[in-house]
Each structure stands twice: as C-alpha cells, then as structure tokens.
Amino acid sequence: MAGAFGPCRLGKYPEAMQQVFDKRGIPLTVVTTVSDNSYADLGLDLRFEIQAWRGIVATDLLQKMLWASRPYEKFPGQADQAYQEYLGELTERIEKKQDLKPVLNQASETFNGEIYLRSNLFCNRNLVRSCEAEGLEVEVSPMGEWIEYVNLRRTEDAVADRNLGKLFKAVGREIVTWYHERQLASWTDGVIHGKDHSPRELIRASAPYIPGRNGSEARRAGCDGK
C-alpha cells in the first residue's frame, strides 16, 4: 500500500487496513512505503514494477472510456457491464504477464460504438454518476498521475542534492513510465477526448496560487510534516 509523509490521508490507510485485518483475525501484514523515493525502497523487481505501472495506466484508460461513453449509452447499464468485463480481462492478463493491447483495442471499439477518494466509488459516493445524472460528461484525474508526480519529485530532489546516481535512476524511471503510458494510451485513441496534463504542466499552471513544493496536499509551504 502506497503511503506519504505529512497529514495526507494516504499515509493512514495502511494503518487502518492493518487494524481491520487484526480485528478479524486475518493473518496478513500490510506492507507500505512512502513517496519520497518513488516507492523504490520496496525492492520490487523492475519487471514487476513495469507490469504494475502498465496495469495502473490501463485501468485509468478503461475508466476514461467508461466515463466518456456512459452519459450517451442507449441502454442503461450497458457501459458498466462492458467495463466490468474488460476490467476482469485486464486483471487476468496482468496476473499472467500477457499483452494488454488486445483488451484495450477491443474496449476502444466497444465504447466507441456508444454515442482512493476520486477513483473509489464507495469513497466518492458515486460522484461521477451524480454529475452524469445532471447531463454532464465527467473526466476524473487518473490514479497514475500520483505515480508520475512522485517520480517528478524524486528527480527534483536528486538535482537539489547533486546526486548523479539518484538523478540517473529518477530520470530513467520517468522515461520508462512515460513510454509505457503513451504506448497503452495510443491503443485507446479515438475514445478518450484528450491526453492528461503532465505533473510539470499542472505545477506550472498552479504556481501563481499554490507553492510548487506543496507536497501531496495544497497546504502551506514548510508544513509537510517531515
């Protein structure tokens, strides 16, 4: 479970999960880490990290196709049904380390045929559906955006520390994640209306209003809990 420093709730979820497991007598231990080093301290195999990243991006893209299509579906529930089917196929292929392209290509054709808080339906109380009920089409920031953000911060920290080894790894991680994201996204072109803004673009646009080093929350500079 990913974590983070400071008052961000992301750092508290693992503790809450562990309490639930302990209370129910489930012999599982929640493994967690923080975002300062892009979660590299988990020591996961590089191939595993890449596969996990591709799974995050693919799921983000599948959700985008759902949200771009559901407001216009002719038969209520059809878009949700298609989403669940393709999500199951994605999950199975990720577990078996299989190519994701066939699923995303097929999902693109299907959805194109129909004229933790923000991403989780339980936590956001179906906010997307509430907006759609009012005739709106909704776009939600993807889960992968957070991974891209912490990668950017790791690169900036490496520059500030003048640590060439750390910088080399950080830039390499940014390049690899960008490559796989663009490859997966190219298989869904035509359904999703446009590409997401990069963390750099968002930080630059928000700079007049929010400090660039505000961490994971829009909080005061210097109050990040470290």
The identity of residue 58, as a single letter, is A
pLDDT at residue 212 in the model: 67
pLDDT at residue 58 in the model: 93
Which residues, 6 or more positions from 150, have their beta carbon under 8 angstroms from its beta carbon? 35, 36, 38, 39
- pLDDT higher than 70, residue 25: yes
* Cβ atoms of residues 180 and 100 within 8 Å: no
pLDDT tens per residue, range 182-221: 888 888 877 776 777 888 888 888 888 777 666 544 433 3
pLDDT at residue 224 in the model: 36
2-6, 78-82, 87-91, 150-154 — most confident range: 87-91
User: Closest Cα partner for 175 from 194, 159, 157, 198?
Assistant: 198
pTM (predicted TM-score): 0.56
Confidence of residue 22 (pLDDT cuts 50, 70, 90): very high
pLDDT tens per residue, range 57-100: 999 999 988 988 888 877 788 889 999 999 999 999 999 999 99
* Cβ atoms of residues 83 and 122 within 8 Å: no
CA 139-91-126 angle, to 5 degrees, is 35
pLDDT at residue 217 in the model: 46
* Cβ atoms of residues 35 and 5 within 8 Å: yes
pLDDT tens per residue, range 104-141: 988 887 776 543 555 666 666 677 888 888 888 887 77
The identity of residue 43, as a single letter, is G
* Cβ atoms of residues 100 and 58 within 8 Å: yes
pLDDT at residue 122 in the model: 60
Look at the alpha carbons of 150, 154, 157, 159 in this order and tell me if their dihedral is positive or negative: negative
**Tokens found for residue 53:** 């990243």
